Structure 1
Amino acid sequence: MVAPDPVDARLLAMLADSGRAAVHEIAQRLGMDPREAAMRLITLSGSGLPLLVGVECDPNGIRRALANAAAYGNYQGPPPSGAYAVHQSGPHHVSGPHPVAPPQPQPGPQSQPFPVQQQPPPNPWGPPQSAGWVRADQPQPRPMSRTGKVGTTLEADSLEGARLSIQLVEVVDPADFLFTAAGYKLAEGERAVVVHTEVTNASQVPFTSLPDMYLVLVTRTGETVTKAPVSLSSRPAHKLGVQPGETAGGHTVFVLPDTTDLTQVRWSVRPEVDVNTLVWTVED
């Protein structure tokens, strides 16, 4: 096998760490275009590596999407992707040399009304990046609450389109006794915090990420504290993914300076804050 270039090596290293991941997640973590990541992985798979690149879908959802598209006319596939698009205007019959039409007299200029701007037809596939595959003329989902307090259940959509209900069950602060009971040792001036969350997948789309991958604590000064790479035997950590209809719970451990004042717990599907970011206020 030819040695991979640096980009391929980064892809393989990321995949080796997770063992199984969606292409768009790997691309997101590496800051790549998902299409480039997919093409590279497919090429690497064909080079003899023990690597399988697949695709997964909701069969019923795809069938509904095709039915919705048919309601707007015959679906003829995506537009050509080459440098020269092919214009289709109906069947063409070739029967020999084209006859030359005699020149026709050109009429004089005539006054024409201003053309009426045509509205684009509604997208039969639904809103972009939507996993609901709803038609544009159907009512959109109700707004979801993005803020709450400890004990509140908030809703968000995953990158794959899974509808998630996330409850902040408990914040144990300080949790030094749990941390030391698990065999770990805190440095002078540090304290441990344990956050318990439960994630329910209320859709038919699997949630394939680690539920607390981007769960952080927010301090009074606006700084964020990321989770510590430890797990407690008495407080099990989250496992990868939540299947449709399932509820999965887990505990996330944080280690921070003892004097740090916490105000919020924040959950996101991406490293950065976006429309799916959830925030719980932590009361003193």
Structure 2
Amino acid sequence: MAVTDPVDTRLLAALADLGKAAVHELAAKVGMDPREVAYRLVALSGSGLPLLVGVESDPQGLRAAIAGSPPSWANRPPQQFPPPPSQPVPQQPAPMPPQGPHGVPSGPYNVQGAPSGPYNVQGAPSGPYNVQGAPSGPYHVQGTPSGPYPGPPPRPPQQRPPQQFAPPPVPLDPVVSTWGLPQTASWARGDEPARPAAPAGGKQGRIREVMETQGLEGEQLSVQLLEVQDPADYLFSAAGYRLEEGERAVVVHTEITNRGAIPFASLPDNYLELLAADGTAIGKAPVSLTSRPPHKIGVPPGETLGGHTVYVLPDTTRVVSVRWSPRPEPDERTLTWSIED
């Protein structure tokens, strides 16, 4: 595939120099918005280029963030203020004192904004008591009147519920990664083991047979299993990936036709699985091969589109069939092709 967009060309050139980088690092290198960089990389990955856009996370940290309680300030009661004093405040403003260091008055003047009459500042004690944290000598707290003026009795401190915080995420071991080393079979295989296959449902057929079904939105679809390359280790290696000892690669070629008027908006091989002889289902690997273009998202009405899906599995696993479904769990819309003679 030829890249004609100059922005995509500059982005891919920077990525080729880095080899592997986070989206925000690549965006900083080319001087672009990370969101636009991510959008362009996903689009280029689906066009058949040797490019994979991945996400790495701390599962325990994400679960702790999801289960965290709302901020404690959201549940605090509104602050209650005392009624204004009944005696009117003199209209003449207090003279502005000369400013000392850090805006503190340098003479025996009231702080700007404090009452100039015989009133206490809200929340200040009326007797000869020190405010918590104030000096123990004959000094006044900043913002209180400088004379011994009477005032209302001190208000008790408002009780606030203790603030709660979500537990900190557990740091990842820098040596061990969920996906393993890039360009290796453990990275392509993912972190989920093969799961037991659900009871078979839907239609049954054989390789190269076309079967009709429906999508989740009522799309009228025809799906055909064209080819199963097992093993396909040479294709996997030619794309720059490396298999672990005791593993093999399998490539499956399928086509999907939209026979109705409703567009099929999903990835055609999103739930395309291999079924082993022991009843386990093997999901696809998140890689694409340069010589075998992958599926693209969406099938417009009246069109037929094809693509290749890659799998990594143990050498000892015997694959007996291929299963397609529009959803994770099989149902009456599921199609299954037997590949054994």
Q: Which has the higher contact order (CA 8 A, sep 6+)?
A: 2
- Please report the TM-score for the alignment, with normalisation by the length of structure 1: 0.49
Q: Greater Rg, structure 1 or structure 2? A: 2
TM-score (norm 2): 0.41
